[in-house]
């Protein structure tokens, strides 16, 4: 694409990601209502869709307050960091065969780097608040995200072995005969669990556990700063689903329909699955979450890595 077309497409991706994240705040509540046999938002507009606008106006009109005991500069910067990191992650996502912003030969590493940067947002938010509940939430977040980043990276190495490339476009093209969700089912499972922990989705939303930490790392946040934390969380959810679609479910590949339509359908189904987890699974204790990672996810990801390497060498006749 020309520089102008690339810039326009980048703006479209930016607006689309933010808009979809806003709509998800309504969609998730409606879907939870259906699955739990209760009403979701149903007062404002058709099926309550204007609840998104009402929530936005409420947050925009709230008083922009910074606690006098907080570190003002870091306190204001923290919610911005997670939004910027998540939006940068979309730069390497191939939405179609010729529909992407950047085709980096290290696209997979770039994605992992952007998700790693998101940990600074919640950690700095907890530290800058100068509040013991926020501090505990920030420290929990740092331990949880740094731990599950290890398993997330290891779960993708099997795919890299099979394709011989870190380029997300090459990874999709390598799935023309068979999606990697079949030969890399163990990697998919580990990546899915790590993605839930990285995006702070239920049942792994322990850094902001309201039953024990008030609201966790964003206890002292309100108004648009709080909205940016929530925006970053939903952007993280969308980005993780896009990456699962790209790496394990063939990206834009599929019969009959155009590639971007297939990509959107697969990503939408994965988002619904993440919402279903929130409706069906209770939250574990924090020590159980960390034990799950180091006692089960790490050995499983290493086993998948060794097994994939052995099969790849055997197929090549080594």
Please state the rounded mean pLDDT for residues 196-220: 70
Residue-wise pLDDT for 212-233, tens only, equals 556 667 777 878 888 888 888 8
Q: How far apart are CA 207 and CA 247, in angstroms?
A: 28
The pLDDT confidence band at residue 317, using thresholds 50, 70 and 90, is low
pTM of the model: 0.90
Q: Are 48 and 32 contacting, i.e. CB atoms less than 8 angstroms apart?
A: no
- Apex CA 109: angle with CA 122 and CA 208, to 5°? 20
Share the mean pLDDT of the chain: 85
Residue-wise pLDDT for 231-241, tens only, equals 888 998 999 99
Residue-wise pLDDT for 84-117, tens only, equals 889 998 989 998 888 888 888 888 999 998 888 8
CB atoms within 10 A of CB 177: 6
Q: What are phi and psi of 96, to 5 degrees?
A: -160, 175
Q: How far apart are CA 231 and CA 86, in angstroms?
A: 10
Whether a cis peptide bond, with omega within 30° of 0, leads into 27 is no
Residue-wise pLDDT for 18-70, tens only, equals 888 888 888 888 888 888 888 888 888 788 888 888 888 888 888 777 888 88
Domain locations in the chain as residue ranges: 63-315
Strands (E), the chain: none
pLDDT score of 244 more than 90: yes
């Amino acid at each position: 694409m020309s520089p102008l077309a690339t810039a326009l497409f980048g703006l479209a991706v930016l607006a689309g990601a933010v808009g979809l994240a806003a709509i998800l705040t309504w969609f998730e509540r409606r879907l939870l209502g259906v699955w739990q046999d209760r009403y979701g938002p149903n007062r404002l507009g058709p099926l309550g869709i204007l609840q998104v606008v009402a929530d936005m106006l409420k947050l925009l009109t709230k008083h922009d307050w910074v606690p006098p005991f907080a570190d003002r500069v870091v306190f204001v910067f923290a919610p911005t960091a997670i939004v910027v990191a998540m939006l940068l992650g979309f730069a390497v996502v191939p939405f179609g065969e010729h529909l992407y912003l950047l085709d980096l030969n290290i696209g997979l590493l770039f994605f992992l780097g952007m998700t790693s940067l998101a940990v600074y947002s919640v950690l700095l938010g907890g530290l800058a608040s100068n509040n013991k509940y926020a501090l505990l939430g920030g420290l929990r977040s740092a331990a949880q995200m740094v731990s599950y980043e290890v398993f997330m990276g290891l779960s993708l190495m099997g795919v890299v072995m099979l394709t011989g490339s870190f380029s997300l476009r090459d990874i999709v093209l390598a799935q023309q005969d068979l999606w990697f969700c079949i030969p890399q089912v163990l990697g998919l499972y580990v990546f899915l669990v790590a993605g839930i922990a990285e995006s702070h989705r239920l049942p792994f939303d322990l850094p902001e556990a309201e039953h024990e930490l008030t609201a966790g790392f964003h206890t002292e946040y309100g108004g648009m700063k709080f909205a940016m934390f929530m925006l970053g969380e939903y952007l993280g959810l969308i980005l993780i689903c896009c990456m699962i679609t790209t790496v394990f479910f063939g990206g834009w590949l599929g019969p009959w329909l155009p590639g971007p339509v297939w990509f959107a359908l697969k990503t939408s189904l994965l988002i619904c699955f993440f919402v279903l987890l929130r409706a069906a699974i209770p939250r574990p204790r924090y020590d159980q979450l960390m034990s799950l990672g180091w006692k089960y996810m790490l050995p499983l990801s290493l086993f998948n890595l060794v097994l994939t390497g052995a099969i790849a060498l055997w197929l090549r006749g080594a």
